[in-house]
């Protein structure tokens, strides 16, 4: 228990939780207040998932990652569990809106985007360090939202995977690859060691 509390504190999880809950509440209220239909626009759904993934980005590293690695702990399973819990929390938070008057769905798209964007964040953490890890999902998703792609080209569907409809196979495969790659790279290598800043 003590270890868990220390882990959460060193990852500044409370700040991430506050940001995630606040962001969800804010976007939910905006959609509930202004949208004519109960289903949120797909762009808003993607943005909410992106917001939650990006606010969990800094929890992928601690204040001194190099020092941490010297500890006699098996880090890979811990890191994997950390990512999986983040995945569960984000999907839980978004899917909690489904029974309400402003629905952020469908569930398959939320699960796909959470997995993929969290995977990209993890890849970012393993390559750029935890503090910069949110660059990767943002750099992929914001242009993809600006250029919605509705054609048949597989390359186009892969490039704009976060905003593709939930039945797109190309998008699902891309998200799965990102998720698995992120989980594997981050769990095995951990956050890149860069000076924080």
Partner 1 sequence: MSRAFAVQFRRFGLPGATVLLLAGAGLLYTVRWEWSPGWMSLVMSQRTYLMLSCPVAIGVGAWLARREHRAKVAELFAATPRPRHQRVLLTLAAVGGAVGLAQVAVLVVTGAWIASTARYLPGEAIAAAGVGVLAVIASAWLGTALGRLASTPVTAPVLAVAGFAAILSVPLAFHEDWQSTLASPAWGMNQFIEYQTIPGRVSAAQAILAAGVAVAAAILLATSRWRTRTAAFLPIVLGLALAVTVMPHDYDRVTIDPVAQQPVCTADTPRVCVARAHAGLLDEVTPHARQALALLAKLPDPPTSVVENTNTYLDESTIVRYGADTVPFDVEVGDDGHLKHPEFLLDRMLDSGGASAAGCPNGFDVATGMAAGAWLSGRQPRPDPNAGTYVVGPGETPPPGDDVVATRLWERLRTLPEAEALARVEAVRRAALECVDARGLLDGDTR
Please provide the DSSP assignment of 123-166 as one string.
HHHHHH-GGGTTHHHHHHHHHHHHS---SS-HHHHHHTGGGS-T
Contact string (CB under 8 A) for partner 1, positions 127-156, x = contact: ----x--x---x---xx-xx----------
Q: How far is CA 54 from the centre of its chain?
A: 6
Q: 139 and 162 in contact (C-beta within 8 Å)? A: no
Taking CB under 8 A as the binding criterion, the range among 12-20, 67-75, 104-112, 179-187 that sits at the site for partner 1 is 12-20
Helix (H) or strand (E) holding 57: none
The residue range among 2-10, 43-51, 77-85, 107-115 that interacts with partner 1, by the rule CB under 8 A, is: 43-51
Q: Alpha-carbon distance 102 to 123, whole Å?
A: 32
Give me the least distance between CB of 97 and partner 1, in Å please.
Answer: 16
Question: Computed over its alpha carbons, how large is the radius of gyration of the chain?
Answer: 17
Q: Which of residues 53-72 bind partner 1 (CB under 8 A)?
A: 54-55, 57-58
Q: Does position 24 bind partner 1 by CB under 8 A?
A: no
Cα 180 to chain centroid, rounded: 13
- Which residues, 78 to 137, sit near partner 1 by CB under 8 A? 131, 134
Interface residues toward partner 1, by CB under 8 A? 12, 15-16, 19, 23, 26-27, 30, 34, 43-44, 47, 50-51, 54-55, 57-58, 131, 134, 138, 142-143, 145-146, 196-197
């Amino acid at each position: 228990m003590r270890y868990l509390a220390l882990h959460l504190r060193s990852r500044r999880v409370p700040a991430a939780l506050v940001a995630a809950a606040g962001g969800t509440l804010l976007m939910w209220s905006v959609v509930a207040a202004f949208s004519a239909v109960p289903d949120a626009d797909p762009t808003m759904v993607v943005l909410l998932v992106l917001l939650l993934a990006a606010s969990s980005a800094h929890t992928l590293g601690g204040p001194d990652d190099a020092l941490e690695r010297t500890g006699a702990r098996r880090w890979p399973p811990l890191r994997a569990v950390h990512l999986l819990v983040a995945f569960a929390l984000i999907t839980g938070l978004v899917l909690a809106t489904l029974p309400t008057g402003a629905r952020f769905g469908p569930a398959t798209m939320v699960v796909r985007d959470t997995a993929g964007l969290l995977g990209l964040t993890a890849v970012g953490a393993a390559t750029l360090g935890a503090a910069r890890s949110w660059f990767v999902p943002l750099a992929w998703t914001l242009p993809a939202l600006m250029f919605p792609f509705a054609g048949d080209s597989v390359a186009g569907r892969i490039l704009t995977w976060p905003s593709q409809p939930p039945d797109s196979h190309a998008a699902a495969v891309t998200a799965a690859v990102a998720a698995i790659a992120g989980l594997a790279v981050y769990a095995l290598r951990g956050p890149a060691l860069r000076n924080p800043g």
